[in-house]
Amino acid sequence: MLLIYAQKSTPRISYIFKHICLRILGIEVAFTSEIEEFIAHVGPKISYGKKPLGNELFFQSYGLLEQQGLEAIDVSVKKWGDTFGFFSVSNNSALPFDIFASSFFMITRYEEYLPHVKDEVGRFMASESLAFKHGFLQQPIVDIWAHLFKAKLLETFPEIEFPEKKITIHPVIVASQPYAYKQKGVFRSVIGYLDSFFHGKFRNILNRTQVILGLKRDPLDTFKWLINKATRRNFNLTVFFLLGNALSFNESMNTHRQKFKMLIKFVADYKEVGLIFSFGALSNYEILKTEKRRMEEITNRVLSSSMNSEFLVNLPDIYRHLVELEVKRDFTMVFRDTVGFRAGTCTPFLFYDLDYEIKTPLVVHPIAMTTLAFQKKYASDIEKTVNNTIAAVEKVNGTFTMIFSNSDFSSEENNKVWRKILAEKLQEYAE
């Protein structure tokens, strides 16, 4: 156990030290504001504050963790070895930057609470982020800082035993449109035929007819293939379904149909099923509650994991709703079309409500990328980016989570690269 002295132990200090020490590095921590207790402690110990008490291992505070509320911060980012740092401190500190304040700034999404430009859907854009502007978006920088802290601890306390950790792989499948032609109903099918006819897509007309007549498998129905790959090596996988209204008419379907419910039950028999909250539900708590209840009625299980339609994270409101609904895990912390670590970490973390200054039980799973970020990219470029990101996560023994769509594995599309990544590359780490 590591004892941490702080003149005043604030909720922010407790939150970020526990994330870095316990969640990332795997060691227990305790806090004290009593100098006598700190001096008497014979095990590993550090102090965190404005000035050192004596000759102990000291990390200087920038001041952010002692504050309450939000204010605009002028952040100066500097190169630091192979990474970057901000919130510079004096030479008295064991590290040149207050990595605890910096980590808190990143994983609480402090910058997303401040005024910023949104895209047309209302999302916080990657280009607005500090990480994008200064070139460290593709580094799990909080985890890198944690390992620099670990190295300092081992220099002073070589007796500390850190548990052995290795990379965790957790792919996610978004099945907002589980079928291209099946289960659409008469009205949607007729509209689909007319749309294909007026746009000259006669191949689609043939495919739709063959699927409806049962002569051919629906091209988006890739679930048996996915389950087969995931169960062969006990692969961690979560599949998310949409029960509410889709934004696109082409993607919409009657989710009350028994065969659609049977699909969800089939997947739930093998792997975890999550819920995509519809776009309309994100601003209406009662709709959120209704959609959650429907999913639980279909699976006969308590809903644990969710994500938001269109990857919209409107902080802090939506996360407060998830806490109230007792959803355990969120999978929306990602930039839709940009590769990188939105929260600066590849380790799941607890949502901290900056308005109320409280740690909540909601676990936010940071996502490294979605396949939507690779539109019009060559397969070689896709594989290189995925490999580099996995390597960055493996270096800090974090969790690599990537969002796919069920359509990415359709045999009719020119997307062999996604099948190769899921069935070969990611499964290398599942053994």
User: Which residues lie across from 420 on neighbouring strands?
Assistant: none
96-110 pLDDT tens trace: 999 999 999 999 999
What is the signed CA dihedral for 234, 395, 140, 107, rounded to 10 degrees?
70
Query: By C-alpha distance, which of 20, 104, 109 is closest to 342?
Result: 109
* Residue 273 pLDDT greater than 70, yes or no: yes
DSSP for 19-55?
A: IIIIIII---EEEE--HHHHHH--S-EEEEESS-SSS
201-217 pLDDT tens trace: 766 666 667 666 666 77
pLDDT in the model for residue 249: 46
User: What mean pLDDT do residues 327-343 have?
Assistant: 97
Residue 190's contacts (CB-CB under 8 Å, 6 or more residues apart) are: none
Kindly report the pTM of this predicted structure: 0.92
User: What mean pLDDT do residues 63-78 have?
Assistant: 94
**Mean pLDDT comparison of 17-31, 171-185, 254-268, highest-scoring range:** 17-31
Q: Which residue has the higher pLDDT, 427 or 396?
A: 396
* Distance in angstroms (rounded) separating the CA atoms of residues 153 and 172: 35
Radius of gyration of the chain (CA): 24
303-328 pLDDT tens trace: 999 999 999 999 999 999 999 999 99
Q: Rounded mean pLDDT of the chain?
A: 91
pLDDT in the model for residue 215: 66
CA angle 24, 153, 360 (to 5 degrees): 30
Burial 47-70 (b: 16+ CB within 10 A, else e): bbbeebeeeebbbbbbebbbeeee
* Distance in angstroms (rounded) separating the CA atoms of residues 346 and 139: 9
pLDDT in the model for residue 245: 79
* Distance in angstroms (rounded) separating the CA atoms of residues 139 and 133: 13
